[in-house]
Amino acid sequence: MKRLGVNIDHIATLRNARGEKHPNVVDAAKLAIKYGADSVTIHLREDRRHILDKDVINITKNKNIPTNLEIATTNEMLKIVIKNKPEFVCIVPEKRTEITTEGGLNLNKNKKKLYTFIKKLNNQKIRTSLFINPKISDVKLSKLLGAQCVELHTGKISNKIKNKQKYLKEFNDIKKCSLTAKKMGLEVHAGHGMDYKTAKILSKIKEIKEFNIGHFIVGESIFFGFKKVIKKFIKIIK
Ligand code: PXP
């Protein structure tokens, strides 16, 4: 059975546009779970452009909301994780100037830092996932670095599908990485840029256990409502 993680960063984007409390991010997290999502994902960025520290505190303290906190490997983030104890952490690369997380981690370049960081998360018994490009060498390295899961970046295939281009190569790369990861004992997640069509195509890969979807859910909810959109994704992926 595949799980759905709903990324609510852009509910915070909308709230921050007015600097007030509406739409309430904690309410969104509670509703996502009520409507059948398995977890909620929030990305605390260094520049706090959407999710704020108080959101992390208020969401993680509610133990009925399984929370996947996306962070970069900084000491500040490690302290926040240790203090707030989210159920899951996904380590992502972060560049200040990017609009969104453009690609997976550069594992090779950051091996030492990641190994030490993951060890500290493992000591806290927090399930740790690495956001990587669908490359076999990165899957293997993720295992060596001590992660329990890999989240495969689905940005490339999502763009190809949206632009009605051929996507077989990207699909096969994700499939091969999923198989390799599973064989090595890593749990496989997928995320970035997905809509209904991409989710439907990728849900054919049985090794993928979790989808993390955000922007499309929040955008589509404007027209059809949060409940309907979440339920539709659940129907597609399960
Ligand atoms: N997974 C990870 C690791 C992410 O960083 C993001 C957001 O960039 C997502 C999933 C969700 O992507 P999207 O908002 O495009 O659905």
- Verify whether ligand 1 is closer than 6 Å to residue 213 (CB atom): yes
Mean pLDDT, residues 134-143? 98
Strand boundaries in 106-233, DSSP class E? 127-132, 149-153, 187-191, 208-213
**Residue ID of nearest Cα to ligand 1 atom 3:** 131
From the CA of 193, how far away is ligand 1's center (Å)?
Answer: 7
Confidence band of 51 (pLDDT split at 50, 70, 90): very high
**φ/ψ (deg, to 5) at 134:** -70, 80
- Contact present, 2 and 232 (Cβ < 8 Å): no
User: For residue 64, what pLDDT band results from cuts at 50, 70 and 90?
Assistant: very high
Measure CA of the first residue to CA of the last residue in the chain; give whole Å: 6
pLDDT, tens only, 4-43: 999 999 999 999 999 999 999 999 999 999 999 999 999 9
Residue 100 pLDDT grade (very low, low, confident, very high; cuts 50, 70, 90)? confident
| 71 C-beta closer than 6 A to ligand 1 | no
Across the range 147-157, mean pLDDT stands at 98
pLDDT band at 110 (very low <50, low <70, confident <90, very high): very high
Helix (H/G/I), strand (E/B), else coil: 214: coil
Structure tokens at 160: 């190809």
Q: What distance in angstroms lies between residue 212's CA and the mean position of ligand 1's atoms? A: 6
**pLDDT tens, 192-215?**
999 999 999 999 999 999 999 999
Q: Which residues are catalytic?
A: 43, 70, 192
To test ligand 1's pocket by mutation, which of 3, 4, 6, 7 has the most ligand atoms within 8 angstroms of CB? Answer: 7
- Token pair for 132: 């990587």
Side chain identity at residue 172, one-letter code: N
**Domains in the chain with CATH codes:** 3-237 (3.20.20.70)
Q: What is the pLDDT of residue 195?
A: 98
Q: What pLDDT is recorded for position 198?
A: 98
The predicted structure's pLDDT at residue 90: 98
Q: Tell me which residue has tokens 């599973």.
A: 182
Strand 208-213 to strand 149-153: parallel, antiparallel, or no bridges (unpaired)? unpaired
Which residues, 6 or more positions from 102, have their beta carbon under 8 angstroms from its beta carbon? Answer: 95, 155
Please tell me the pTM assigned to this model.
0.96
Is any atom of ligand 1 closer than 6 Å to the C-beta of 89? no
pLDDT band at 93 (very low <50, low <70, confident <90, very high): very high
